[in-house]
Structure 1
């Protein structure tokens, strides 16, 4: 149940960010839910592989290359989902930064409600 709530909250965040950022487009609420699921799956499967392959450049850049990896995950989701589009790599970086920030806020409030 907690997983479904997190996915729905992430979908709301994706939908809200699509309306705030001019380079991100989400077709509907259902597409936002699909985007949240696909990004979660890509973060689970593809991101660790990318992190391992790019470990030397991540070390040299002191971890800043992880922003590019997050943007690549967003662009992969863009290619996989028909109703979701991101205009550029810079928009994907900004989208992933805001998405991560807002997800951390939502996660911290959900943890506080449990206590």
Structure 2
């Protein structure tokens, strides 16, 4: 259930980022581009983004651990931008999906996606039961 919620939140974050014009991140739906096709495309891109974050992001974090320490974690923004760019590259091969015009705009979009994910993570976090 947590993976599905993560995909829905990522899809919403990608949609919000695609609405912001100066970031130049676009989502190209498959088919005739109706609302249903756009929602399915956002869900597919969000699922691919979640898988890329899980697999590639974990490997990068393990390999680049000393760089994370040296930069006090600020390299996270660049890594997240790279993962967003990688997702765009993967989905562009299908003829639909995410398009990131510039790497640094992708970094800015990844920062915004991280903020949206953090806000929804706080809102959707399961409440712990108090012990009596």
Secondary structure of 1:81's counterpart equals helix
Q: Which has the larger radius of gyration?
A: 2
Deviates more, 1:55-64 or 1:71-80: 55-64
- Residue 51 of structure 1 deviates from its aligned partner by 1.4
Secondary structure of 2:125's counterpart equals helix
Q: How does 1:14-25 map to 2 (within 5 A)?
A: 14-22=14-22, 23-25=24-26
Q: What do the CA deviations read for 1:30-82 (whole angstroms, capped 9, x no partner)? A: 22111111111111111111112222222221111111111110011011002
**TM-score, with structure 2 as normaliser:** 0.76
Secondary structure of 1:62's counterpart equals coil
**Aligned-CA RMSD value:** 1.9
Distance 2:9 2:59 in 1: 26
Q: Which has the higher helix share?
A: 1
> Which residue is 1:90 aligned to?
104
**Contact 1:15–1:29 under 8 Å retained in 2:** no
Runs of 4+ in structure 1 displaced over 6 angstroms? 112-115
Secondary structure of 2:26's counterpart equals strand
Correspondent of 1:105 among 100, 103, 119: 119
